[in-house]
Amino acid sequence: MAQNQSTKKYEWNLEPILKNKSLSWWIDEWKKTLEYEVQNINTFCNSLNTFEKWLCNIKSKEKISNVIANYVSNHNYENLSDNKWIELQQQLSYIGKKYEEKLANLTHVYLKNEKTIKEYLANKKFQNYQRMFALIFREKKHILPLEQEKLWTKLTATSYGFNEIFLTLSCSDISFPPIKDKTGKEIKIISAYDLIKYMESKDRCLRKNAWITFHHAYYQYMNTFSKTLFNNFLNANNYAKARGFKSYVDEVFFNDEINENILFSIYKSVENFKSIYLKYKKIKKWIYQKILKINDIEPWDLTANYLKIENIMIEQAKQIVLKALVPLKEEYLTVVKKAFAQNWISFLPKKGKYNGAYSIGRTFGLDRYFILMNFNNSLDAVSTLIHELGHSVHSYFYGKKQNDKNNSWPYCDADIFYAEIPSICNETLLFFYNLKKYAKNSTIKKYLIMQFIDNFFNCTTRQIIFSNWEYAVAQDINNEKTFTVTSGLALYKKLIEKYTGLNEFKKKDEIYQYQYSTIFRISHFYANNLYVYKYAIGQIVGLYVAKRITDKEMLKRYFNFLSSGSSLSPLETIKLLGISLTDKDIYIETKNVISDLIEELQKK
């Protein structure tokens, strides 16, 4: 899409990241901080003064590297096939790896000086750094001997390669043929988001063709995806075991400061949603039969956006967001308005652009918290916008706290374990706002309720299926079991039945099988962070918080949560909200909320 004055305001402005300096200037400054570490690695513990200078340099390095990483990676995600940014990322990677090798013994130095560092940390000036170093010291048994550590640094230079291969294939190299509507008119497809839009069409022929084309595009690459995934998990498991972990999964649990029982508890709690899931699916199918006047409902029928509330323009979407977030008060709304005014957001879809949505990480040193999305004028797009703003405003508040001179720097991020809570809280507030807005319109109200319930199950039941699949596959590969497309699909179908009670695998036509290729195109599987079950945590806790946000005590707790960053363990951070993930009442209450909404659908 050619950029003109009308579209430019809907692109993000990344230039303020560089603060009127050139990218090469920032790279030179980054190298200086790295050189300082190399030169002082064996002397920074000599005195309280040298220790303070060391911490200041680390702080500067973090700010500078975040500037560079965000500027380059965000440009790259705008066009994943643009060689300029690909080459820059590779060059930066080479620089980083060179210094990683030189600093391979850093953790050994920290451990060697553990007693001295703890004495320094007792000084009031450094007390806020205690958790930062506690996390380093707890890794003691997983640190390799020095020479092995140096070799490790060299070998892991390609550890993120599988994720890059997946993203390039799924977002850039996969192309989509034109599709036809019921009149036979051919429609050109630029990106996956075009197909997602047409899957919502009232034209059944167009809807079906979009559904088949979308799923077939990924289906035809299942062997490539499965082999990439196998080697990714094989690598991740081997790296983990080399550090004394039982598996990649075990390493993730260690990093998240939880144990396996927490994961299994969440799996079991979400499995208990099966009864309401089945009840809802039957009601939804019946509703769609009536509305679409089709007896035999197919998968592509259930994607139909049968009620076009309105063709929502971006400016309208902004206003909807601001009205929906009123319960969070002006302190929160001011940040959202700043995001709109300062062009934090890349709204528009285009070829080569990452076909998902995200709010940036690594934000220390930044004062703008950028969002990439693909706005398609739908209510879902408004939901995506308010979701990503949840992340960005979260970044703003913990960034503000950690940049305060009275607070410390190290906790200026959000652990992925609880990062989805603010986003789901925002989405739920949008639902409450729209439900009230259309309270007297039973048709729209029914539509909104179904959208909300669909999203709830997509974030809980669907993500737990994905998570259980990832967990099982990673563990099987760790135990030297074979993994193929066939075994991957069989496990996926088994888990669908376990968590939903549905067995929809009887149709043998190949086109019905296309949809199961979904399991191989979950980007998080290639990132080695056992992430997707955390969407369920975000959905359940976010809903709980949104229901109570008008209570002054909950609002106070919520802002404490937003400002805490990573200053506490993930479970302790969630406890700031007055919530424990092992409390069954949270899941029961959530189930009751959805049950009540299902009852609302039956009344209409």
Catalytic residues: 388
Query: Who contacts 26 (Cβ-Cβ below 8 Å, separation ≥6)?
Result: 18, 64, 67, 68, 71
Other beta carbons within 10 angstroms of residue 488's beta carbon come to: 22
Cα separation of 409 and 401, whole Å?
A: 9
Q: What is the dihedral of CA 338, 344, 349, 355, to 10 degrees?
A: -120
Query: Rounded to 5 degrees, what angle do the CA atoms 333, 336, 342 make?
Result: 140
Cα separation of 295 and 153, whole Å?
A: 60
Nearest Cα residue to 78 out of 172, 161, 217, 15: 172
Separation in Å, CA 523 to CA 72, 85, 166, 351: 20, 21, 7, 19
Judge contact between 360 and 74, C-beta under 8 A.
yes
Cα separation of 214 and 521, whole Å?
A: 12
Cα separation of 425 and 354, whole Å?
A: 25
> Would you state the structure tokens that stand for residue 107, as one six-digit string?
């953790």
Coil, strand or helix at 186? strand
Coil, strand or helix at 323? helix
- Total residues found in the chain within this entry: 604
Query: Who contacts 502 (Cβ-Cβ below 8 Å, separation ≥6)?
Result: 278, 281, 496
Long-range Cβ pairs for the range 40-46 (8 Å, 24+) = 41/103, 41/105, 41/106, 41/109, 42/109, 45/109, 45/113, 45/116, 45/117, 45/120
